[in-house]
Amino acid sequence: MSPQPQAAVGAPLSRVDGRLKVTGEARYAAEFDVDGVVHAVIVDASIGRGRITGVDTDAALAHPGVLRVIHHGNAPTLPYRDNPGSNNLPGRRLRVFQDDRVLFHGQPVAVVVATTLEAAQHGASLVKVGYDAERPTTDLAEGEPGRPANYARGDVEAGLRDADVRLDLTYRMARNHHNPMETHATIARWDGNRLTVWDKTQWVPGTQTELSTVFDVPPDSVRVINPFVGGAFGSGLRCWPHTVVAALAARETGRPVKLVLTRKQMYYGTGFRPAYEYRLRLGGDRNGRLVAADHGIDAETSSYETFTEAVMSPGQMLYSTPGVRQAYRTVPLDVNSPIWMRGPGAATGSYVIESAMDELAHELGIDPIELRRRNEPAQDPSDNAPFSTRRLLECYTVGAREFGWDRRKQSPRSTRDGDWLIGMGMAAGVYHTAVAPARTRARLNADGTAVIESATSDMGPGTYTSQTQVAADALGLAVRAVDFRLGDSRYPQTPPHGGSMTMASIGSATLDVCDQLRRQAIELAVGDEESPLHGVSPDDVVVRGGRLHVQGNPTRGETYQRLLTRNDRARLEAEASFSPPRGERRSISAYSAVFTEVAVDATLGLVRVRRMLAVYDAGRIISPKLADSQAIGGMVGGIGAALLEHTVTDHRDGRIANAGLADYLVPVNADVPDLRAIYLEGEDYEADPIGVKGLGEVVIVGVAPAIANAVFNATGRRIRELPITAEALL
Amino acid sequence: MSIELPESAVPPPTGAGESSSTPTRRTFIATSTAVGGAVVAGGVIGGGSLLGPEEATAAEAPPSSRVSLTVNGTRRTVTVDNRTSLLDLLREHFGLTGSKKGCNAGACGACTVLVDGERSEMGVPPAGGWGRVNSCLTLAVRLEGAEVTTIEGLADGDRLHPLQKAFIDQDAFQCGYCTPGQIVSGVGCIEEGHTGSPEEIREWMSGNICRCGCYVKIVRAVQQTAGRK
């Protein structure tokens, strides 16, 4: 078929769901009007480890409106069948109310169901739980590491021994919580053996299979609905215990149950980016070429599941390094399980590597960009696979020019603006491009409109909009004639909405299904004696504005509407199943270069970001207006990780001391200056059929080290710990 | 939540319906939900037969009060559990879910609504007569006679408020969850006259957290709208 003109893809369109979001009409999980719904509130363990000795529910049950209190003493045994292929972590998933064990502070130990939210909240405060408490281990430094995951190439010891310059650096990163603005919530309703949940999730089919296995009901009898996700950043990638609690409470009371986690419960119930201690021994020659790197990585996980992420990857492939050795050890602690958070692994690994590169540049007196250029690999150093596209050097060039990098003074603490010390820093970012099997179905209606359905999600990047753009061009329809639907398990199955793979995966399936529909319509037309297109080769027909016509001859053609109506076809239908093609081995990643200028109060240690600019090599940009927002949002997330975000645990009892938005600081408007994002024009069709390399993750990678490097340039102080606080700088 | 008033301060629950000029299904639900505790306790509706041995059989109704307030121009009278926040009244009883619960502790601004400035104890009454209020920290029973504007009340029929339109134009949101609070807060910010510079807007919009990180564009949207005035 003829390639379709691209009118919507690449155009700076506003969000198709914008009106719903600015009027308050967009419905998030807890906002569905379900008849007869009652309210559930979870009671959390107030010890960090131990056993429950008793649950006194008398006062709670005596409270007006309270219907039921469910806990391990009266809960039914739940099947909890294995759920292979889910995002459940290796280990044994937390089973709600199945025994008296407390594995971490904040673990759900009971749930109160009541006719009103007020009664449920008050009732939860009246449940008295007795404990036999043990001292928990929650400090990364005190835990016993498990067996490491290892990687090795070259002779690291010889490389370090013979290096002209050696650095031995230990970096620490605090635990971060996603803190999406919408807290996780579930409404659950049973109709006989059929379960419907309105649940905040990044993976509608994942919640469906988890509930199916926990309650041992067929997947088809579980329906998951979630058209809008109020942010997640990874916290919705697996089905958490509270969703099971809601479904259990609904089954036990025979009523629909709404359960909304409190902000505090989000710190114990929906995962986090784990704390890390990362030791890097780095050796280089006098010209700045890396010769060896030894990485010792320790990260927290829970006592019952092992969480790992791609933290080793940047150290293997970002720079040419003949000798690399890595040991990645997870440390089981008495905490709830971590989960992937924006830029998982890469954000952490690149913070260390990009900080160390800055330290090496300073040590050698080489410009940080020049140092990176000297270590730019020609192919992926981890496995010698050719890069599909890697335009990192171009990111440096464009970024340096647009940012004014030449105004940076190499010698630290040499620029002042009144009380403020001024510094500039930069860092590279990388995130591997992931693509997964995905399905869509579509119908083209006789009125010239189209509906595309897929079980994917839109947690904010703009799936509704960008998929509509892909579909509109493939069908030759106006954007307003296309209705892209998502967030329902009755739609075709999709991979998790995360890992920057939604556009690559669902986008490819959307392109395929719409190409099929267009082909059906074209074949119908060229085979129809009454069509002006009769007898034309299908390859010579394109569709624009809902009208099929001969390529290069717009006057010869007709509309979808006319074609379908004349042929008595109410609609054309198609389904697509996209699987990533297995071509030649390629190293496929999105890249970035982040530049920033900070001001540090010389007396108070306060750090303010003054400006930031990032350049991305992310392949084809489907929706530039939304891509710009995503990049800027990633920078803001990175500012948080660099300067503010820090989950503080009281190691005496495992309590999180700052489990709230007043104490766990995230960037507010006054923390954020004007930010600028530049996407290099281009595409990567080795990555996927629509040429994208993913955006959502790479935009946070590299931000924290750029800030840390700028703080060093401003002050001469190297803080090897995130967040960089005023206390550390004093 | 366990806010309790002394007995003497508690008006008896009336169980009366509300006297909205145009009763809707929503307002009916509000009333019946608000007195639900009492009704279930009396075993009148709600499936007394469903009560199992583990279920509650409490006999007393929670302290509740009758309150009349105007929401987006519609006067509503409702009997409400004294513990109910304005946010929960809007979301759980009136079905106005545009105001969001992000923290329930006044720290994020997602629940921001405008309340007439006469009741100064509920917020800072600015010169324009509007007050931005965290509805999660405001007890519904304190709103007797108040006029409340939520995100649902900003548009004029199909015509969006200029700031709503500016948010779409500037792409000042992603997930959309903080957006109603941002927009309502932005309307307050403009009314207050705190839009002299981007720096001033940043300061006066810093009570509204956006975790997707759309601040740059939120400032532009507020600036664009303030410039039209």
Its domain, for residue B172, covers 162-228
Q: Note whether residue B104 is domain-resident.
A: yes
In the predicted model, is pLDDT for residue B34 greater than 90? no
Same domain, B139 and B177: no
Same domain, B48 and B145: yes
Q: Measure CB to CB from residue A460 to each of B57, B83, B175 and give the nearest one.
A: B175
Which of B136, B153, B170 is the last residue before a domain boundary?
A: B153
CATH (domain of B201): 1.10.150.120
In the predicted model, is pLDDT for residue A715 greater than 80? yes
Tell whether B198 is within 8 A of chain A (Cβ). Answer: yes
Sheet holding A149-153, edge to edge: A149-153, A323-333, A290-302, A276-284, A165-173, A721-722
Same domain, B101 and B202: no
Q: Note whether residue B50 is domain-resident.
A: yes
Q: Measure CB to CB from residue A118 to each of B84, B174, B209 and give the nearest one.
A: B84
User: Average pLDDT in the A264-286 region?
Assistant: 98
| Nearest CA among A573, A641, A579, A631 for reference residue A609 | A641
In the predicted model, is pLDDT for residue A320 greater than 50? yes
In the predicted model, is pLDDT for residue B53 greater than 50? no
Q: Note whether residue B41 is domain-resident.
A: yes
Tell whether B152 is within 8 A of chain A (Cβ). Answer: yes
Tell me whether the omega of the peptide bond preceding residue A723 falls within 30 degrees of 0, making it cis: yes
Triad B14, B20, B26: Cα angle to 5°: 85
CB-based contact A719:A642 (threshold 8 Å): no
Which of B5, B212, B219 best probes binding to A when mutated, by most A CB atoms within 10 angstroms? B212
Tell whether B224 is within 8 A of chain A (Cβ). Answer: no
Task: Specify the pLDDT at position A1.
Answer: 75
Which of B109, B128, B153 is the last residue before a domain boundary?
A: B153
User: What single DSSP character describes residue B140?
Assistant: G
Task: Specify the pLDDT at position A94.
Answer: 98
Quickly state the pLDDT bin for B121 (edges 50, 70, 90).
Answer: very low
* CB pair distance less than 8 Å for A662 and B105: yes
Q: Measure CB to CB from residue B62 to each of A27, A74, A119 and give the nearest one.
A: A119
- Range name among A293-302, A341-350, A653-662, B46-55 with the lowest pLDDT average: B46-55
In the predicted model, is pLDDT for residue B45 greater than 50? no
User: Average pLDDT in the A597-624 region?
Assistant: 98
With a pLDDT cut of 90, the percent of chain A lying above it is 99
Tell whether B184 is within 8 A of chain A (Cβ). Answer: no
Task: Specify the pLDDT at position B117.
Answer: 53
- Range name among A182-191, A702-711, B58-67, B214-223 with the lowest pLDDT average: B58-67
Q: Rounded to a whole number, what is the distance in Å from the CA of A58 to chain B's nearest CA?
A: 9
Helix (H) or strand (E) holding B186: helix B179-192
Active site residue A363: no
Same domain, B62 and B131: yes
What three-state secondary structure class fits A655?
strand
Same domain, B199 and B94: no
Same domain, B115 and B200: no
In the predicted model, is pLDDT for residue B147 greater than 70? yes
Task: Specify the pLDDT at position B116.
Answer: 84
* CB pair distance less than 8 Å for A670 and B178: no
* CB pair distance less than 8 Å for B151 and A24: yes
What three-state secondary structure class fits A93?
coil
Task: Specify the pLDDT at position A57.
Answer: 98
Q: Which residues pair with A591 in a beta bridge?
A: A430, A617
The count of CB pairs under 8 A between chains A and B is 244
* CB pair distance less than 8 Å for A119 and B213: no
Task: Specify the pLDDT at position B135.
Answer: 97
User: Average pLDDT in the A404-430 region?
Assistant: 98
Q: Tell me the average pLDDT of chain B.
A: 77
Compute the distance between CA of residue B182 and CA of residue B206 in angstroms, rounded to an integer.
10
Q: Tell me the average pLDDT of chain A.
A: 97
* CB pair distance less than 8 Å for B37 and A64: yes
CB-based contact B26:B90 (threshold 8 Å): no
Specify the higher pLDDT residue, B52 or A16.
A16
User: Average pLDDT in the A671-698 region?
Assistant: 97
Same domain, B183 and B80: no
* CB pair distance less than 8 Å for A670 and B209: no
Same domain, B73 and B31: yes
What three-state secondary structure class fits A474?
helix
With a pLDDT cut of 70, the percent of chain A lying above it is 100
Specify the higher pLDDT residue, A501 or B34.
A501
Triad A614, A591, A10: Cα angle to 5°: 75
* CB pair distance less than 8 Å for A460 and B174: yes
Q: Which residues pair with A51 in a beta bridge?
A: A101, A132
Task: Specify the pLDDT at position B229.
Answer: 60
Which of B153, B178, B208 is the last residue before a domain boundary?
A: B153
Q: Rounded to a whole number, what is the distance in Å from the CA of B60 to chain A's nearest CA?
A: 6
Same domain, B123 and B202: no
In A701-715, which positions are buried (b, 16+ CB within 10 angstroms) versus exposed (e)? bbbbbbbbbbbbbbb
CATH (domain of B56): 3.10.20.30
Chain A residue with CA closest to B98: the answer is: A24
Tens of pLDDT along B177-200?
999 999 999 999 998 899 999 999
Q: Note whether residue B1 is domain-resident.
A: no
Q: Note whether residue B2 is domain-resident.
A: no
Tens of pLDDT along A420-464?
999 999 999 999 999 999 999 999 999 999 999 999 999 999 999
User: Average pLDDT in the A246-263 region?
Assistant: 98
Q: Rounded to a whole number, what is the distance in Å from the CA of B109 to chain A's nearest CA?
A: 10
* CB pair distance less than 8 Å for A118 and B62: yes
User: What single DSSP character describes residue A270?
Assistant: S
Q: Where are the beta strands (DSSP E) in A391-540?
A: 416-417, 420-432, 438-445, 450-453, 482-485
Q: Which of residues 32-61 of B touch A (CB under 8 A)?
A: 33-34, 36-38, 40-41, 46-47, 50-52, 54-61
Compute the distance between CA of residue A60 and CA of residue A65 in angstroms, rounded to an integer.
10
Which of B39, B177, B206, B222 best probes binding to A when mutated, by most A CB atoms within 10 angstroms? B177
Quickly state the pLDDT bin for A185 (edges 50, 70, 90).
Answer: very high
How many domains does chain B fold into? 2
User: What's chain B's Rg over C-alpha atoms?
Assistant: 20
- Range name among A372-376, A436-440, A643-647, B1-5 with the lowest pLDDT average: B1-5
Q: Note whether residue B43 is domain-resident.
A: yes
* CB pair distance less than 8 Å for A669 and B178: no
Same domain, B210 and B166: yes
Task: Specify the pLDDT at position B5.
Answer: 34
What three-state secondary structure class fits B141?
helix
* CB pair distance less than 8 Å for B54 and A125: no
From the list A25, A277, A697, A727, the catalytic residue is A697
With a pLDDT cut of 70, the percent of chain B lying above it is 67
Tens of pLDDT along A1-45?
788 999 999 999 999 999 999 999 999 999 999 999 999 999 999
Domain architecture of chain A: domains with CATH: 18-26+436-578 (3.30.365.10), 32-134+181-231+236-269 (3.30.365.10), 276-434+584-729 (3.30.365.10)
User: What single DSSP character describes residue B90?
Assistant: I
Q: Rounded to a whole number, what is the distance in Å from the CA of A652 to chain B's nearest CA?
A: 26
Q: Measure CB to CB from residue A64 to each of B46, B61, B168 and give the nearest one.
A: B61
Task: Specify the pLDDT at position A34.
Answer: 98
Quickly state the pLDDT bin for A361 (edges 50, 70, 90).
Answer: very high
Task: Specify the pLDDT at position B38.
Answer: 33
Same domain, B11 and B107: yes
Compute the distance between CA of residue B189 and CA of residue B195 in angstroms, rounded to an integer.
7
- Other C-beta atoms lying within 10 Å of the C-beta of residue A415: 18
Q: Note whether residue B132 is domain-resident.
A: yes
Chain A neighbors of B101, CB-CB under 8 A: 30, 183, 260
Same domain, B29 and B88: yes
Burial class (CB in 10 A: 0-12, 13-18, 19+), B163: buried
